[in-house]
Amino acid sequence: AAMAMAMAQSLSGASKNSAFISMSFMLKSPSCLSSIRRSGVPPRTIGSTRSSSTFRALRGGIVGTAMSTSAAPSEAHLPWSQLPYMGALVDFREGSLRDLCLSQEQFALRLRSTVSHLKSEQMKSCWLQLPIALSSFAAVANTNEGFTFHHAKDDYVVLKLWLREGEEDKVPDFATHQVGCAGFVLNDKGELLVVKEYTGNRTRTSSPVWKLPGGMLDLGESFEEGACREVFEETGIACDFASVLCFWNRHGLTWGKSDLYVVCRLVPKTLEISADEEEISDCRWMPLSEFVATQQHPLILRICDVLYGLRKESPMPVQHVEPAVEMVKYEVKFPGRDGYATYF
């Protein structure tokens, strides 16, 4: 931008106006504006010395015509990096593409060249990652080449194009499941740690249902880490992981997603409750036999039945009790890779 300004200021009359028109077309392209924003240069200060007639011309649509007739955009394919399973990533958030100034017309031509090149390389899929500042390129990629949205997060969007015509598109959908976990915490007296949550949006109402403390896993978090964290955050009870007791797989949740919910057996290291006042309306240690006799939570009752032999028709007082079966953690490791937590 600075070079273009210096060149324009050294000219006069029609030549200066022509230089401003060409420069403004470059600066109005989405990718160039993105670079200007990152550099800290206010776009409105660029070319501020131009005449009012030139300013009106730039605002009125002459800009695109001037640039498209004065310079042919490059048709070289865009830089890309290889992904697993014969995928190719064109990433405008990283590397040489991050600061590349392209108009929509230039982008369209170079994207077409890229798609053709990748097909000749026998690649299976092309992935296009765009920051929000270049979101207008998404419409160009969809209209011209058939790219479709795959996922979006925070400040970027990813589009995908299957390149193998006549072959089944085997790219999986993004984030088809959410993963949650809960802690089944029994103390030495045979008491179960249970909570009641606040419900409602505008009014804080205590839920009538006693449940296990738990919640959603964070990105990169294991079952045991997530279960111990959630229990501590909600109840103040620190725990050690012992095993996986069970899990369910539900469908049709928010945004049409599915749900994996894992119940972990945890051993308490502390017993004094300090509940999260924002989320939890009540928390207590409840004798397992009392829970079976008085509560209706279907998951917890099934755990008590199948794993602990406790049923409503014959609830037995329990002190220290172990589940009939549980999955404990082992490590499975491929050569040259980190080990994976696996439960048997």
Ordered by start, the domain boundaries in the chain are 80-162, 177-330
How do residues 201-221 score in pLDDT, each as one tens digit? 567 789 999 999 999 999 889
What pLDDT shows up at residue 39?
46
What pLDDT shows up at residue 199?
82
End-to-end CA distance of the chain: 62
The answer to whether the beta carbons of residues 134 and 30 sit under 8 Å apart is yes
Which member of 145, 221, 233, 326 is catalytic?
233
What is the rounded CA–CA span in Å between residue 309 and residue 297?
16
- Band of the pLDDT at 200, cuts 50, 70, 90? low
- Band of the pLDDT at 169, cuts 50, 70, 90? very high
CA distances from 42 to 24, 37, 38, 39, 46 (A): 14, 7, 10, 9, 7
Check if CATH label 3.90.79.10 holds for domain 177-330: yes
Give me 170's structure tokens.
């085997």
What pLDDT shows up at residue 322?
84
Q: What share of the chain is helix, strand, coil (3-state, %, to 5)?
A: 35, 25, 35
Segment of 6-20, 58-72, 153-167, 168-182 carrying the highest mean pLDDT: 153-167
Amino acid present at 201: N
Out of 51-65, 235-249, 270-284, which region has the weakest mean confidence (pLDDT)? Answer: 51-65
Fold of 80-162: Aminopeptidase (3.40.630)
- Band of the pLDDT at 316, cuts 50, 70, 90? low
- Band of the pLDDT at 60, cuts 50, 70, 90? very low
How do residues 273-307 score in pLDDT, each as one tens digit? 999 998 999 999 999 989 999 999 999 999 999 99
What is the rounded CA–CA span in Å between residue 81 and residue 90?
7
How do residues 117-140 score in pLDDT, each as one tens digit? 999 999 999 999 999 999 999 999
Radius of gyration of the chain (CA): 30
Residue 233 is among the residues annotated as catalytic for this protein: yes
110 or 24: which leads in pLDDT: 110
What pLDDT shows up at residue 24?
44
- Band of the pLDDT at 85, cuts 50, 70, 90? confident
Beta bridge partners of 153: 156
Q: Is the pLDDT of residue 19 over 60?
A: no
What pLDDT shows up at residue 43?
40
